[in-house]
């Protein structure tokens, strides 16, 4: 029997009580139920300076970037829950993507080894009425531009303050099922492409 697909799950937020961290953990459960091996990480554990090419030239990639890149490379798929800042991607998530896109010693320039051939599913939640939907457009465009296949299915959950219970689960069973379904589709697509 072949090895299970490996999915890396994370949110574009470092806030301790982030709604998007709660959401991606729910999605991770759906991916596990579909047979994937899921690794959840918190970007809080991988602090990276604001990307600066002079800094990269002088000091190379920070250790946390090497660690993050290694995780991206060792997983075939990504589950990403994306907070929305002013209608777009969070600086944290964009910065992490920018650092990970840089070549390390032994890689060709612009190889994008962390992203080429990977598959991703996007989710979002926010206290507002659109649930982070506007930001997902930008995250999708960035990822697709660097070689990630982003599945069409996505989910944005509005009213985040009321949407989660005290245990971090979604109150609405239909929303819960939709999030699990997207994660399961990610596993199916990733499995087919890596079969």
pLDDT mean over 31-47: 98
Q: DSSP character for 61?
A: S
Pick the CATH number of 6-193 from 3.40.605.10, 3.90.1150.10, 3.40.50.360, 1.10.510.10: 3.40.50.360
Top-confidence residue, 109 or 168: 168
Residue 1 has pLDDT above 70, yes or no: no
Cα–chain-centroid distance for residue 164? 20
For range 14-33, the mean pLDDT: 98
**Residue 112 pLDDT > 80:** yes
* Model-wide pTM > 0.85: yes
pLDDT at 171: 98
Q: How does the average pLDDT of the chain come out, rounded?
A: 96
How are the residues of the chain apportioned to helix, strand and coil, as percentages rounded to the nearest 5?
45, 20, 40
Q: Are 20 and 13 in contact (CB under 8 A)?
A: yes
Q: For position 157, what pLDDT does the model report?
A: 98
Domain positions in the chain? 6-193
pLDDT digits (tens, 9 = 90+) for 100-110: 999 998 899 88
Question: What mean pLDDT do residues 154-178 have?
Answer: 97
């Amino acid at each position: 029997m072949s090895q299970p697909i490996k999915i890396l799950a994370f949110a574009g937020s470092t806030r301790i009580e982030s709604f998007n961290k709660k959401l991606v953990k729910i999605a991770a459960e759906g991916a596990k139920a579909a047979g994937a091996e899921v690794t959840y990480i918190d970007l809080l554990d991988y602090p990276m300076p604001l990307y600066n090419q002079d800094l990269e030239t002088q000091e190379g990639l920070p250790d946390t970037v090497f660690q993050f890149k290694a995780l991206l490379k060792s997983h075939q798929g990504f589950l990403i829950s994306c907070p929305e800042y002013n209608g777009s991607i969070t600086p944290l998530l964009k910065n992490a993507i920018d650092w990970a896109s840089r070549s390390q010693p032994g890689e060709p320039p612009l190889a994008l080894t962390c992203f080429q051939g990977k598959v991703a599913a996007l989710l979002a939640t926010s206290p507002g009425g659109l649930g982070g939907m506007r930001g997902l457009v930008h995250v999708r465009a960035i990822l697709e531009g660097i070689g990630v296949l982003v599945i069409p299915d996505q989910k944005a959950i509005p009213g985040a303050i009321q949407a989660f219970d005290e245990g971090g689960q979604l109150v609405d069973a239909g929303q819960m099922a939709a999030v699990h379904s997207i994660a399961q589709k990610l596993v199916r697509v990733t499995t087919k492409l890596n079969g």
